[in-house]
């Protein structure tokens, strides 16, 4: 399995330092938070897009994904959401990033209504994603935190350019074990976000292995299935400024994940 980390863990760090951090600790790629306060977002021009793609390519570090904030099940008209999806997909295509992350964001609206709205919006952007060489991934999050919630949207879309991002924290918060989450998500799975926390009530990020999330079980089910995709460490420093600095944890975290992969049972 290949390893990445999210720039959510290094708010304010320039891209050159992000690349150096990834190379120093043997990460294969980086998930870029696509927000206007970050160096990479849909508002940057073509020259900056080309320079960013070249910078990562020259270093041998992949741009795994753009972590966008479009909420595909949100109430309101389709047009603003579709415009946001369009911009994220085009940026990912220009950067050579294979994935775009989006949220459900259905809030408290009825599940069937949220599912239908999200499926319609994702189906609309699917042809552009296919043409751009990008997959739009619905994260297990907020209103659709369990795998069984996400697949209610993804199944009706039925398009190869629309898939799932498995956030292990949220399926766990939803009461799903990895052995239940993975089979449901497997036909749609783009990559997996890992992290660790002290409890369901204490969401501040911890070093991998220092908390309660079933990371070993997660890697185990992936390995037994022969899945050889990406594990991305999403260390949410941006939302928890009191948390330890990610650069101090990046090396031990990568070693921890490599250890989990090495100890996991082989494919059946």
Per-residue model confidence as pLDDT tens digits over 141-173: 999 999 999 999 999 999 999 999 999 999 999
- Answer whether residue 218 is part of any domain: yes
CATH number of the domain to which 127 belongs:
3.20.20.150
Question: What does pTM read for this prediction?
Answer: 0.97
- What integer is the mean pLDDT of 56-63? 98
Provide the domain limits for residue 91. Answer: 2-263
In the prediction, which pLDDT does 102 show? 98
Residue 1 pLDDT exceeds 90: yes
In the prediction, which pLDDT does 148 show? 96
- Answer whether residue 167 is part of any domain: yes
- Answer whether residue 57 is part of any domain: yes
* pLDDT category of residue 267 using cuts at 50, 70 and 90: confident
- Answer whether residue 215 is part of any domain: yes
- Answer whether residue 188 is part of any domain: yes
- Answer whether residue 214 is part of any domain: yes
Average pLDDT, rounded, for the chain: 97
In the prediction, which pLDDT does 95 show? 98
| Residues 237 and 223 sit within 8 Å (Cβ to Cβ) | no
- Answer whether residue 268 is part of any domain: no
Structure tokens of 134? 């990008």
In the prediction, which pLDDT does 268 show? 78
Instruction: State the total domains in the chain.
Output: 1
User: Could you read off the pLDDT of 61-111 as tens digits, one per residue?
Assistant: 999 999 999 999 999 999 999 999 999 999 999 999 999 999 999 999 999
- What integer is the mean pLDDT of 109-130? 97
In the prediction, which pLDDT does 201 show? 95
Q: How far is residue 265 CA from its own chain's centroid? A: 25
């Amino acid at each position: 399995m290949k390893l990445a980390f999210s720039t959510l863990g290094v708010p304010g760090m320039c891209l050159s330092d992000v690349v150096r951090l990834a190379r120093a600790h043997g990460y294969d790629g980086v998930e870029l938070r696509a927000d206007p306060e970050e160096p990479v977002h849909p508002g940057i021009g073509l020259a900056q897009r080309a320079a960013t793609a070249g910078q990562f390519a020259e270093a041998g570090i992949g741009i795994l994904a753009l972590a966008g904030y479009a909420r595909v099940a949100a109430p309101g008209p389709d047009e603003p959401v579709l415009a946001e999806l369009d911009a994220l997909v085009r940026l990912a295509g220009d950067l050579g990033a294979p994935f775009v992350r989006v949220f459900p964001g259905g809030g408290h609206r009825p599940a069937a209504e949220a599912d239908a709205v999200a499926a319609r919006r994702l189906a609309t952007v699917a042809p552009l994603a296919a043409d751009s060489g990008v997959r739009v991934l619905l994260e297990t999050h907020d209103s659709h935190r369990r795998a069984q919630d996400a697949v209610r949207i993804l199944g009706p879309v039925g398009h190869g350019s629309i898939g799932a991002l498995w956030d292990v924290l949220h399926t766990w918060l939803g009461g799903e074990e990895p052995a239940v989450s993975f089979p449901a998500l497997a036909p749609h799975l783009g990559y997996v976000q890992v992290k660790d926390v002290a409890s369901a009530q204490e969401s501040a990020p911890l070093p991998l292995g220092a908390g309660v999330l079933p990371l070993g079980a997660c890697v185990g089910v992936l390995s037994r299935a022969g899945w050889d995709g990406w594990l991305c460490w999403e260390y949410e420093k941006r939302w928890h400024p009191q948390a330890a600095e990610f650069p101090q944890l990046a090396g031990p975290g990568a070693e921890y994940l490599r250890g989990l992969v090495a100890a996991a049972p082989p494919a059946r």
